[in-house]
Homo-oligomer: A and B are copies of this chain.
């Protein structure tokens, strides 16, 4: 077995990659785990340990070459290529996602969108064609899609996600406010601002007067 890399480590790598890109833009060419940790609010030991799962990228006594480490991380994560995505749900939220300009520059391309609403089907939003959801299954048989973005109401999410998985989609970004359990081979990440707010209020309510 080639040593199992903890998922928490994988989740941190993109933040490292981002900080390194920032340092690159600043023209910095060396950085220590100490300094990187300060930028990100993480301990230096954790950064070193995380990186050690993938290789030995540093120079003792100096630190890490910024450009080199940035390149390595991008390659490890697959950020050196483009990924195709489809969006399901072209309501308010879906339209915001289609016109969001943060995906494309990072190599994440929304190639098609789907909705149940006849009013929007056949139109173009943010340069992307909107198809009928009824065509989703058939579509997935013809085209290979890397990532599905789900932006439908909570009660419609489960069947859509089932369709995506049946169609061979292995990564899902779920904006619907509901937890949908998926098979182990499928990745799902939930974007749920209300959930984030609802746990912060616990600390607002308590922790106040100490």
Q: Is A205 positioned at the interface, with any CB of B under 8 Å from its CB?
A: yes
Q: Which of A127-166 contact B (CB under 8 A)?
A: 146-147
Q: Is A122 positioned at the interface, with any CB of B under 8 Å from its CB?
A: no
Number of interface residues of A (CB under 8 A): 57
Question: Of B19, B96, B189, B195, which one neighbours A15 at CB under 8 angstroms?
Answer: B195
Q: Is the CB of B200 within 8 A of A103?
A: no
Query: Majority SS of interface residues in chain A?
Result: helix
Additional A-B contacts beyond A92-B101, A93-B96, A108-B194 (9; CB < 8 A): A10-B199, A10-B203, A15-B195, A40-B179, A41-B181, A77-B199, A92-B99, A147-B200, A187-B203
Given contacts A96-B96, A106-B194, A194-B108, contact A187 B200 (CB under 8 A): yes
